[in-house]
Amino acid sequence: MTDIKSMTIEELKTLMTELGDKPFRAKQIYSWLHEHLVTSYDEMTNLPKGLREKLKAYPITALETADVQISEIDGTRKYLFRLSDGNVIESVLMGYKHGNSVCISSQAGCRMGCRFCASTIGGLTRNLLASEMLDQIYRIQAQTGERVSNVVVMGTGEPLDNYDNFLRFVHILTEDGGLHISQRNVTVSTCGLVPRMNDLAEEKLQITLALSLHAPNDIKRQELMPIARKYSMDEVLQACRNYFEKTGRRITFEYSLVAGVNDTDEDAEELAGRIRGINCHVNLIPVNPIKERSFARSTRQAVENFKIKLEKCGINVTIRREMGSDIDGACGQLRKSYLEKTESEK
Q: Determine the residue with CB nearest ligand SAH.
A: 330
| Closest C-alpha to 193, from 225, 223, 169 | 225
Q: Are 310 and 262 in contact (CB under 8 A)?
A: no
Per DSSP, 44 falls in state: -
* Whole-angstrom Cα Rg for the chain: 21
- The answer to the question of residue 190 lying near ligand SAH (CB under 6 A) is yes
**154 in contact with ligand SAH (CB under 6 A):** yes
Which of residues 174 and 189 has its CB atom nearest to ligand SAH in the complex?
A: 189
Pick the binder of ligand SAH from 89, 151, 170, 287 (CB under 6 A): 287
Q: What DSSP string describes 174-192? A: HSTTTT---GGGEEEEES-
Residues 6+ apart with CB under 8 A from 279: 244, 250, 251
41 forms part of the interface with ligand SAH (CB under 6 A): no
- Looking at 69-77, 83-91, 113-121, 299-307, which segment touches ligand SAH (CB under 6 A)? 113-121
Active site residue 90: yes
Are the beta carbons of 189 and 156 closer than 8 angstroms? no
CB 207 within 8 A of CB 187: yes
* 174 is an interface residue for ligand SAH by CB under 6 A: no
Is 319 a binding residue for ligand SAH by CB under 6 A? The answer is no
CB-nearer residue toward ligand SAH: 190 or 247: 190
The residues with which 91 forms a beta bridge, in sequence order, are 79
Among 54-62, 108-116, 241-249, 265-273, the segment contacting ligand SAH (CB under 6 A): 108-116
**What residues form DSSP beta bridges with 93?**
77, 102
Residue 106 or 174 with smaller CB distance to ligand SAH: 106
Supply the minimum distance, in Å, between the C-beta of residue 205 and ligand SAH. Answer: 17
Closest to ligand SAH by CB, 128 or 331: 331
- Of 80, 191, 201, 284, the residue at the interface with ligand SAH (CB under 6 A) is 191
**Between 178 and 216, CB nearer to ligand SAH:** 216
Given a contact cutoff of 8 angstroms between Cβ atoms, the answer to whether 80 and 108 are in contact is no
Nearest to 339 by CA among 69, 90, 64: 90
Count of positions (residues) in the chain = 346
| 285 touching ligand SAH, by CB under 6 A | yes
**Site size with ligand SAH, rule: CB under 6 A:** 18
Closer to ligand SAH by Cβ: residue 291 or 346: 291
Window 246 to 275, contacts with ligand SAH (CB under 6 A): 254, 256
- Identify which range of 22-30, 270-278, 284-292, 320-328 contacts ligand SAH by CB under 6 A: 284-292
Residue 343 annotated as catalytic? no
Tell me which of 103, 240, 280, 331 is the catalytic residue.
331
Surface-to-core class of residue 270, CB atoms within 10 Å of its CB (0-12 exposed, 13-18 middle, 19+ buried): middle
Selected binder of ligand SAH within 29, 37, 130, 331 (CB under 6 A)? 331
Q: For CA atoms 262, 263, 267, 272, give the dihedral sign.
A: positive
d(CA 37, CA 29): 10
Is residue 339 a contact residue for ligand SAH (CB under 6 A)?
Answer: no
Partners of 109 in the β-ladder:
124
CA 208 to CA 20: how far, in whole Å? 41
- Residues 7-36 contacting ligand SAH, CB under 6 A: none
Query: Which one from 90, 132, 158, 254 is the annotated catalytic residue?
Result: 90
d(CA 23, CA 56): 18
| Contact residues for ligand SAH, defined by CB under 6 A | 112, 114, 116-117, 154, 158, 189-191, 212, 254, 256, 285, 287-288, 290, 330-331
- Give the residue numbers annotated as catalytic, written as ranges: 90, 331
